[in-house]
């Protein structure tokens, strides 16, 4: 080990560097920091320090300033536009759980204390540079994207004649789709170019005070569309309910914690895990087949403790998409929630499930399907939403998957909807098993009886006898379609005790060969 020599006064060139970098520190930017605090926010560097393991962040391009030398002195730019409002680098995230290579991440953050986090000419160049690094490193990207979009005040480049439309940031970032996980973290106002970065990301984590839109108030007014307060443009609640925001959190602190949890699913297996008493699964589907139930009780009971992270929870609530772990291994989960539309799959639910399956497939995460599907939603109103095309996404994505689907039928497995939940066919899954509450059919039992026995029912003119006949026929259909009977036709693999579900999942995962994914694959994840 080399001995450290006493050096009380650094040489001049090092002193110059230290002085220059001092302008980056929050401690030396008190006015800007106090303004940020007054609005309830944290600084960009505080967020990065929270995200990355202690002393692990290595910053790239810290000495650039805004392209405004024609307007301000260089010293003013150093003091007022540190790092040109964009901090980039490499840091370790979740290092206590994963080894040194697995935990490295590319980190970027627009700095709202610098020209409202806008995208300047030089910070576009810096973004492009760190994207090149990301391609080489093949590591997840975490991007704090708060900001007002493009910056018209950068006059050191002639943006009048060409509009800056040859900037490559957006296409280069978009090209990373499906190559590495990309997480956008949003707080406060996020418009135009900043919002485009968010929209190109795999997942958007946003705080409750977020306003997220493709154009801010100035652009809206400039287009003759009226005057609006920023809070009126793409408020978080609306964007969560319409599916734009994947995860809605209270504040920046929670956003960072959730981002760390999200990226962990793509960093590897956890060696330490615990799970709840699996025998409790036996009682979570009601004995009365007409009763709805809370699928999250099943998910939380089945998964490793504290391992469930739901995505797009405010949108298409009849379809659940979540990342979980089983014995420490990451798994993507789709499931039908009977509390909404009885679990039927409509256009929004189809889009939600299909896009999530693409996400899992891109990063080699197996998919667990908890099926309680009475089928695809039908009817004139449903067809107005483009149901034929939207529902077909589940079949097309399912047919193109490289990762396995593991299907567990909790109760209903009817028609095309159930087939879609299993990747297109009950035999497309690596396994399709049913709990004893499972029931199978080409369509819902009640509807099948009404259609198939219409003449017999109409022939019975006495209403009480007609109802009795109907109930008898439904009961007979149920006896034929219930899991323990349907299993004799080998339409699916097995009826299991619910407590053995984890055993089936772990056996499958141990039996499936996995190969390292190359960044050169042509897979991409739809923005929607």
Please report how the helices 347-362 and 387-400 are oriented relative to each other, as an axis angle in degrees rounded to 10: 20
For the stretch 179-193, pLDDT in tens is 999 999 999 999 999
452 pLDDT above the threshold of 80: no
Least confident of 237-246, 321-330, 387-396, 467-476: 467-476
> 158 falls in which pLDDT band (50, 70, 90)?
low
Mean pLDDT of 299-322: 98
Position 461 scores a pLDDT of 79
Q: What is the dihedral sign for C-alpha 473, 474, 475, 476? A: positive
Burial of residue 329, with CB atoms counted within 10 A of its CB: 0-12 exposed, 13-18 middle, 19 or more buried: buried
Position 441 scores a pLDDT of 87
Mean pLDDT of 109-135: 94
Q: In this structure, what token pair is assigned to residue 62?
A: 């810290």
Least confident of 159-163, 311-315, 375-379, 436-440: 159-163
Q: CA 463 to CA 448: how far, in whole Å?
A: 20
Least confident of 393-402, 505-514, 515-524: 515-524
Angle at 246 between CA 515 and CA 281, to 5 degrees: 70
Mean pLDDT for all residues in the chain: 92
State whether residue 482 is helix, strand or coil: strand
**Residues in contact with 356: Cβ distance below 8 Å, sequence separation at least 6, in sequence order:** 311, 312, 321, 332, 334
Identify the residue with better confidence: 71 or 352: 352
520 pLDDT above the threshold of 70: no
Helix (H), strand (E) at residue 373: strand 367-373
CA distances from 283 to 299, 319, 452, 480 (A): 13, 22, 33, 23
Position 516 scores a pLDDT of 44
Q: In this structure, what token pair is assigned to residue 109?
A: 């953050």
**Residues in contact with 379: Cβ distance below 8 Å, sequence separation at least 6, in sequence order:** none
> 160 falls in which pLDDT band (50, 70, 90)?
very low
Position 446 scores a pLDDT of 74
490 pLDDT above the threshold of 80: yes
Helix (H), strand (E) at residue 196: helix 192-200
**Residues in contact with 429: Cβ distance below 8 Å, sequence separation at least 6, in sequence order:** 369, 404, 405, 406, 407, 422, 423
Spatial CA neighbour of 109 closest among 171, 35, 175, 186: 186
Rg of the chain (C-alpha set): 27
Spatial CA neighbour of 186 closest among 197, 173, 172: 197
Q: CA 159 to CA 430: how far, in whole Å?
A: 55
> 10 falls in which pLDDT band (50, 70, 90)?
confident
> 514 falls in which pLDDT band (50, 70, 90)?
low
> 297 falls in which pLDDT band (50, 70, 90)?
very high
Q: CA 18 to CA 264: how far, in whole Å?
A: 35
Mean pLDDT of 69-85: 93
Mean pLDDT of 237-245: 97
Spatial CA neighbour of 141 closest among 196, 98, 202, 183: 183
Position 521 scores a pLDDT of 58
State whether residue 292 is helix, strand or coil: coil
Structural domains of the chain ordered from first start? 23-158+165-264 (3.90.226.10), 278-438+482-511 (3.90.226.10)
User: Residues 348-385, buried b or exposed e (16+ Cβ, 10 A)?
Assistant: bbbbbbbbbbbbbbbbebbbbbbbbbbbbbeeeebeee
Mean pLDDT of 292-311: 98
517 pLDDT above the threshold of 60: no
Q: Kindly state the percentage of the chain with pLDDT values over 90.
A: 77
3 pLDDT above the threshold of 90: no
Starting at the edge strand that comes first in sequence, how are the strands of the sheet with 86-92 ordered? Answer: 58-60, 86-92, 104-110, 141-144, 182-186, 203-207, 247-249
Q: In this structure, what token pair is assigned to residue 93?
A: 């995230």
Least confident of 68-77, 149-158, 304-313: 149-158
6 pLDDT above the threshold of 80: no
Position 465 scores a pLDDT of 78
Least confident of 33-42, 57-66, 217-226: 217-226
> 7 falls in which pLDDT band (50, 70, 90)?
low
Identify the residue with better confidence: 107 or 475: 107
> 163 falls in which pLDDT band (50, 70, 90)?
low
């Amino acid at each position: 080990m080399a001995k450290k020599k006493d050096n009380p006064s650094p040489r001049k060139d090092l002193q110059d560097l230290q002085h220059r970098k001092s302008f980056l520190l929050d401690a030396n930017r008190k006015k800007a920091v106090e303004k940020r605090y007054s609005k309830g926010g944290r600084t960009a560097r505080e967020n990065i320090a929270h995200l990355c393991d202690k002393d692990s962040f290595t910053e790239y391009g810290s000495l650039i300033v805004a392209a405004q030398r024609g307007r301000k002195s260089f010293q003013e730019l150093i003091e007022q536009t540190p790092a040109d409002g964009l901090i980039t680098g490499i840091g370790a995230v979740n290092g206590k759980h994963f080894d040194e290579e697995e935990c490295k991440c590319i980190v970027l953050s627009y700095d709202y204390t610098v020209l409202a986090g806008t995208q300047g000419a030089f910070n576009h160049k810096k973004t492009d540079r760190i994207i090149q690094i990301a391609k080489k490193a093949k590591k997840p990207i975490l991007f704090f994207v708060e900001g007002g979009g493009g910056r018209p005040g950068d006059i050191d480049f002639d943006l009048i004649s060409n509009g800056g439309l040859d900037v490559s940031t957006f296409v280069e970032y978009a090209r990373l789709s499906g190559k590495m996980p990309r997480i956008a973290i949003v707080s406060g106002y996020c418009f135009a170019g900043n919002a485009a970065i968010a929209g190109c990301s795999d997942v958007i984590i946003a705080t409750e005070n977020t306003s997220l839109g493709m154009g801010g108030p100035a652009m809206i007014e400039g287009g003759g569309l009226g005057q609006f307060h920023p809070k009126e443009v793409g408020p978080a609640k609306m964007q969560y309910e319409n599916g734009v925001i994947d995860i809605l959190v209270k504040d920046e602190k929670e956003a960072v914690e959730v981002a760390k949890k999200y990226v962990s699913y793509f960093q590897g297996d956890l060696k330490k895990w615990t799970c709840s008493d699996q025998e409790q699964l036996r009682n979570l589907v009601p004995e009365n087949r007409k009763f709805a139930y809370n699928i999250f009780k099943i998910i939380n009971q089945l998964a490793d403790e504290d391992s469930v992270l739901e995505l797009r929870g405010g949108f298409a609530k009849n379809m659940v998409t979540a990342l979980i772990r089983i014995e420490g291994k990451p798994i993507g989960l789709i499931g039908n929630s009977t509390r909404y539309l009885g679990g039927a799959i409509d256009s929004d639910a189809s889009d939600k499930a299909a896009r999530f399956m693409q996400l899992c497939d891109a990063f080699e995460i197996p998919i667990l399907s908890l099926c309680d599907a009475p089928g695809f939603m039908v009817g004139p109103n449903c067809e107005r939403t483009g149901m034929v095309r939207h529902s077909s996404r589940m079949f097309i994505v399912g047919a193109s998957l490289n990762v396995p689907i593991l299907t567990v039928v909790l109760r209903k497995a009817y028609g095309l909807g159930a087939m879609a939940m299993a990747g297109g066919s009950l035999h497309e899954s690596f396994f399709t098993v049913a709990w004893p509450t499972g029931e199978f059919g080409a369509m819902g039992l009640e509807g099948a009886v009404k259609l198939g026995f219409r003449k017999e029912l109409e022939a019975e003119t006495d209403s009480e006898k007609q109802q009795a006949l109907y109930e008898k026929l439904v009961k007979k259909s149920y006896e034929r379609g219930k899991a323990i009977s349907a299993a004799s036709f080998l339409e699916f693999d097995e009826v299991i005790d619910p407590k053995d579900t984890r055993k089936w999942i772990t056996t499958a995962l141990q039996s499936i060969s996995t190969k390292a994914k190359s960044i050169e694959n042509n897979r991409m994840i739809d923005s929607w």
